[in-house]
């Protein structure tokens, strides 16, 4: 049975106690002394000392009497092992008094203010306590508490003794603190030394985790720790490691979620810790105030740990993450920081090792991938290699690749996983066929960023921030988020690799994308070359088709007849033609049939600066109405049934040269509008084409109709008429310039004598008289044909008989009669064959040849051509 000291005895002993106080070095000495001198005073049952920790926010307690009944509680365990919050509404109140405070346990308990660690004392019969603050340098650094089971009043004398003891104790608190600091530093040193030794033996993440677990246990009296690593841009974090048994993290239920995802830094938590050297100490109340995202850290608190210390991890001046440690009792900041700094180095080393290992594996994989890609010969093989690669690198198989189209402004899907779930979905074919604009769309964003980008399809479509043309399709096939990685070769962005987001290592994705980009660009280039070769072949074929026409044009250009005839009317015409030839003006040549309108057109072209280019003739009367459009403007492949190849129109053929629109009066009205547009805009659009083509063409039009009258009667557009009628030239009919007939007759006799090899040179006066008195409804052409016949039929050097058609012979003497010229059956056949040959551009055999049109065998037609004396130059250059 312990002997109780009386109050008087204590007072007598005070001097003794005072002397002993100065030999106190640590809190245990103090406990011992106070216990010895005061603890045994009746009516105190036991007593306790607590000191505020260095962080100023928590305090630790220790007992005067190690064997006291309040040493441990079921909730807290050994109460002296723990730290408690200063601001618990109890402790901070006691600190606010300078004089002893008497606290009744029952009252506190009723108000719910009795701290957990005091509850067991209450249960074992403690009635009240007398608490007094300890001072150091006028600062409250802790308190002394004396517990009383006695329900009686505390005497003033006892209070005086308590206050006196505390006054003495306060004198040595500083010494205790300094001394304890020194001890703590020594302890830290040895602990850290052993830590660095142990860390040097750690090789991998599992080893590090196990070691941290042990050390945390030893240093912080806790099991809970976690390491969050932040990304280089300090925007996100990922939980890299948690305590071995994960008890604390998993307790909150959010650990598994946290560990797998890269999360945005929690504002007010991560940023606060990352910004300072000192650890940040989160008490229970701090923890409760954290946002929901910090749930993963709350588990430990719920399990009764008081503090969560967050200390930033730094290596080589770089902040790399945060070490979270649950602390059971106060540990100096310096120790936590030193611990964190060693852990930071160890984590960096392990990560570097992991990185080296990962890179080596990746390098090997990339190398084999590059080889396989290089071996892919076509799109199909390439698709198979990409499939395999994405699967092995990212465990992703479903992908799509879009490439920039040749127009440079749009992109289209090009390659995809053929086993993907979406390829049979409705709309897939439309998405594949679409040309999607790059500007304003996700592709532009990816190109601008240069980094893989994750798109939240739904929110983009709702907010309309980006023109996501394929977005609705992705949503319809259950892909709400899609990741796009740029495919580029050198400085050229050639496309985008699309896939569903997953645990994707972006650096690796970039490396893989680079490889894919090279392969895609090679295959696309090959495809484009093949396409160009096909187009070149088409052009070649087309050019061959045009060759005939062009050859004839050239022959015509170089062999055409010069104007013959010096009549006054013709002198005027020559004058007009020579004037207009040099200009670029549109010329409208009017005149009856056979008056030489085409000859005039050629004379204008030959006298113009365009003479070295072609004059392309379009006969608006003979061209089939359905094809006249494509004849003039050309067509794209597939623009109408039968348009198997792309074909240039006459406008394009005449570029830089002259386009001669013969028989313009016959042109259908709807085409007149198109022609007018082409003349005004100086550009054309191929049938079925989407782009316009600039053309530089001089227009000469001719007609034997009265165009002004046609306009009046609504058969010819007025606006087109005005545009064509810039420089009208009207050729006189032959009957109005009979003085030209002799010279024309001589000209034609010589021409056909030369052509047929017949020696015919003259014409009798009688015959010439007959010719000059004829009214020539077919004008010079009719004269020419008649003279050709004369040469063919003549048996002497002189033509004395003119083989007028019978009716003509009858009417030759009466020209006033306006009877039409009646052809013989032979003439009719001959003209008809010439007409059809013209239409077929001289082609006799084949599907589009004249024989087929005329419904006779080729041999029969050839025989008729020979028999009727049809010469090549008569066909398809003349009518």
Ligand X SMILES: Nc1ncnc2c1ncn2[C@@H]1O[C@H](COP(=O)(O)OP(=O)(O)OP(=O)(O)O)[C@@H](O)[C@H]1O
Binding site for ligand X (CB under 6 A): 561, 563-565, 591, 593-599, 662, 702, 704, 780-781, 784, 878-879
Task: Report the candidate in 351, 402, 398 with the shortest Cα–Cα distance to residue 203.
Answer: 351
CB of 605 to ligand X, least distance (A): 13
In the complex with ligand X, which residue's Cβ is closer, 65 or 781?
781
Q: How far from 216 is each of 208, 325, 328, CA to CA, in Å?
A: 12, 7, 10
In the complex with ligand X, which residue's Cβ is closer, 372 or 788?
788
In the complex with ligand X, which residue's Cβ is closer, 158 or 833?
833
In 640-712, alpha helices (H) = 650-653, 669-681, 707-712
Q: Is 173 left (phi over 0), alpha (psi -120 to 50) or beta?
A: alpha
In the complex with ligand X, which residue's Cβ is closer, 347 or 837?
837
Q: What is the DSSP-derived secondary structure letter of residue 35?
A: I
Q: Cis check for the bond before 512: say yes or no (omega within 30 of 0).
A: no
Q: How far from 867 is each of 19, 775, 829, CA to CA, in Å?
A: 155, 29, 11
CB of 527 to ligand X, least distance (A): 49
In the complex with ligand X, which residue's Cβ is closer, 512 or 589?
589
Q: How far from 671 is each of 660, 677, 678, CA to CA, in Å?
A: 16, 10, 11
CB of 781 to ligand X, least distance (A): 4
In the complex with ligand X, which residue's Cβ is closer, 13 or 756?
756
Strand 139-148 with 453-456, pairing:
unpaired
- C-alpha 662/C-alpha 42 separation (Å) is 137
CB of 715 to ligand X, least distance (A): 18
In the complex with ligand X, which residue's Cβ is closer, 686 or 785?
785
CB of 413 to ligand X, least distance (A): 55
- C-alpha 158/C-alpha 161 separation (Å) is 5
In the complex with ligand X, which residue's Cβ is closer, 326 or 748?
748
In the complex with ligand X, which residue's Cβ is closer, 303 or 576?
576
Q: Is 511 left (phi over 0), alpha (psi -120 to 50) or beta?
A: alpha
CB of 669 to ligand X, least distance (A): 21
- C-alpha 236/C-alpha 252 separation (Å) is 21
Question: Residue 198 contacts by C-beta under 8 Å, 6 or more apart in sequence?
Answer: 211, 215
In the complex with ligand X, which residue's Cβ is closer, 532 or 872?
872
CB of 570 to ligand X, least distance (A): 7
**CB-closest chain residue to ligand X:** 596
Q: How far from 659 is each of 682, 721, 799, 878, CA to CA, in Å?
A: 13, 16, 40, 17
CB of 520 to ligand X, least distance (A): 58
Question: Is there a contact between 376 and 382 (Cβ–Cβ < 8 Å)?
Answer: yes
CB of 876 to ligand X, least distance (A): 12
Question: Is there a contact between 564 and 542 (Cβ–Cβ < 8 Å)?
Answer: no
Tell me, letter by letter, the H, E, C secondary structure of 235-259: CEEEEEEECCCCHHHHHCCCHHHHH
In 776-868, alpha helices (H) = 779-793, 806-812, 825-839, 850-854, 858-867
CB of 704 to ligand X, least distance (A): 5
Helix (H) or strand (E) holding 45: strand 44-52
In the complex with ligand X, which residue's Cβ is closer, 598 or 770?
598
Q: Is 466 helix (H, G, I), strand (E, B) or coil?
A: coil
- C-alpha 823/C-alpha 808 separation (Å) is 10
Taken in order 263, 228, 76, 331, the sign of the CA dihedral is: negative
Helix (H) or strand (E) holding 102: strand 101-104
In the complex with ligand X, which residue's Cβ is closer, 404 or 879?
879
In the complex with ligand X, which residue's Cβ is closer, 391 or 556?
556
Residue with tokens 């066909």: 875
CB of 600 to ligand X, least distance (A): 7
CB of 779 to ligand X, least distance (A): 7
CB of 780 to ligand X, least distance (A): 3
Task: Report the candidate in 696, 700, 748, 679 with the shortest Cα–Cα distance to residue 599.
Answer: 700
CB of 592 to ligand X, least distance (A): 7
In the complex with ligand X, which residue's Cβ is closer, 591 or 634?
591
């Amino acid at each position: 049975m312990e002997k109780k000291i009386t109050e008087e005895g204590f007072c007598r002993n005070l001097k003794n106690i005072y002397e002993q106080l100065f030999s106190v070095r640590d809190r245990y000495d103090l406990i011992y002394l106070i216990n010895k001198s005061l603890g045994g005073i009746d009516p105190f049952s036991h007593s306790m000392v607590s000191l505020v920790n260095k962080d100023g926010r928590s305090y630790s307690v220790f007992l005067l009497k190690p064997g006291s009944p309040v040493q441990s509680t079921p909730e807290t365990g050994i109460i002296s092992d723990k730290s408690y919050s200063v601001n618990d509404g109890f402790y901070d109140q006691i600190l606010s008094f300078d004089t002893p405070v008497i606290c009744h346990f029952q009252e506190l308990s009723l108000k719910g203010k009795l701290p957990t660690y005091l509850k067991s004392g209450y249960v074992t019969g403690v009635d009240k306590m007398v608490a007094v603050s300890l001072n150091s340098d006028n600062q409250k650094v802790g308190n002394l508490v004396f517990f009383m089971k006695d329900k009686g009043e505390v005497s003033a004398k006892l209070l005086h003794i308590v206050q006196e003891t505390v006054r003495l104790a306060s004198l040595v608190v500083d010494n205790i603190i300094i001394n304890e600091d020194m001890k703590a530093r020594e302890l830290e040193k040895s602990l850290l030394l052993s830590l660095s030794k142990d860390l040097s033996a750690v090789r991998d993440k599992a080893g590090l985790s196990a070691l941290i677990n042990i050390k945390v246990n030893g240093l912080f009296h806790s099991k809970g720790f976690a390491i969050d690593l932040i990304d280089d841009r300090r925007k996100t974090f990922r939980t890299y490691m948690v305590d071995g048994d994960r008890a604390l993290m998993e307790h909150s239920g959010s650990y598994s979620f946290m560990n797998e995802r890269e999360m945005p830094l929690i504002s007010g938590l991560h940023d606060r810790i990352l910004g300072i050297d000192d650890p940040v100490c989160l008490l229970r109340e701090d923890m409760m105030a954290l946002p929901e995202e910090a749930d993963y850290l709350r588990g430990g608190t719920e399990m009764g740990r008081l503090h969560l210390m967050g200390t930033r991890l730094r290596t080589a001046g770089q902040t790399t993450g945060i070490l979270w440690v649950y602390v059971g009792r106060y540990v100096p900041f310096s120790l936590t920081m030193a611990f964190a700094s060693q852990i930071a180095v160890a984590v960096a080393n392990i990560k570097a090792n992991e990185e080296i290992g990962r890179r080596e594996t990746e390098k090997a994989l990339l190398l084999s991938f590059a080889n396989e890609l290089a071996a892919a010969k076509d799109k199909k093989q390439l698709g198979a290699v990409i499939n395999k690669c994405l699967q092995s690198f990212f465990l992703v198989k479903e992908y799509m690749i879009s490439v920039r189209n040749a127009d440079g402004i749009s992109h289209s899907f090009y390659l995809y996983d053929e086993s993907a779930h979406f390829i049979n979905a409705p709309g897939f074919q439309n998405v594949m066929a679409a040309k999607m604009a790059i500007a304003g769309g996700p592709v532009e964003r990816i190109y601008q960023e240069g980094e893989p980008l994750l798109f939240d399809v739904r929110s983009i479509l709702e907010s309309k921030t980006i023109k996501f043309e394929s977005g609705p399709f992705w949503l319809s096939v259950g892909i709400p988020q899609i990741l796009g990685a740029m495919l580029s070769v050198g400085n050229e962005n050639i496309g985008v690799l699309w896939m569903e987001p997953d645990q994707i290592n972006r650096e690796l994705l970039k490396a893989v994308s680079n490889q894919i980009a090279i392969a895609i660009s090679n295959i696309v280039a090959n495809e484009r070359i093949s396409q160009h070769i096909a187009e070149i072949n088409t052009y070649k074929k087309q050019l061959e088709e045009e060759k005939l026409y062009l050859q004839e044009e050239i022959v015509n250009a170089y062999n055409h007849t010069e104007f013959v005839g010096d009549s006054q009317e013709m002198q005027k015409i020559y004058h007009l033609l020579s004037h207009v030839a040099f200009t670029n003006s549109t010329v409208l040549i009017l005149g009856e049939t056979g008056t030489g309108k085409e000859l005039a057109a050629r004379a204008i072209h030959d006298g113009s600066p365009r003479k070295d280019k072609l004059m392309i003739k379009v006969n608006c009367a003979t061209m089939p109405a359905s094809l006249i459009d494509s004849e003039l403007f050309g067509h794209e492949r597939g623009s109408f049934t039968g348009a198997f190849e792309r074909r240039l129109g006459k406008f394009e053929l005449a570029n830089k040269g002259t386009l001669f629109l013969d028989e313009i009066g016959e042109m259908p009205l709807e085409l007149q509008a198109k022609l007018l547009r082409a003349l005004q805009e100086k550009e054309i659009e191929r049938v079925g084409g989407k782009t316009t083509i600039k053309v530089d063409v001089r227009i000469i039009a001719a007609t034997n109709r009265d165009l002004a009258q046609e306009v009046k009667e609504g058969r010819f557009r007025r606006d087109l008429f005005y545009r064509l009628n810039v420089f009208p030239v009207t050729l006189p009919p032959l009957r109005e310039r009979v003085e030209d007939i002799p010279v024309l007759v001589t000209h034609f006799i010589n021409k056909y004598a030369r052509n047929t090899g017949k020696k015919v040179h003259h014409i009798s006066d009688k015959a010439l008289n007959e010719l000059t008195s004829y009214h020539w409804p077919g004008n010079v052409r009719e004269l020419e044909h008649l003279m050709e016949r004369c040469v063919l039929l003549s048996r002497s050097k002189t033509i004395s008989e003119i083989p007028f058609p019978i009716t003509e012979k009858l009417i030759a003497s009466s020209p006033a009669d306006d009877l039409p010229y009646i052809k013989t059956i032979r003439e009719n056949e001959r003209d008809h064959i010439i007409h059809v040959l013209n239409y077929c551009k001289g082609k006799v055999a084949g599907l589009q040849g004249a024989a087929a049109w005329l419904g006779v065998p080729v041999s029969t037609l050839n025989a008729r051509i020979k028999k009727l004396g049809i010469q090549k130059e008569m066909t398809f250059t003349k009518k």
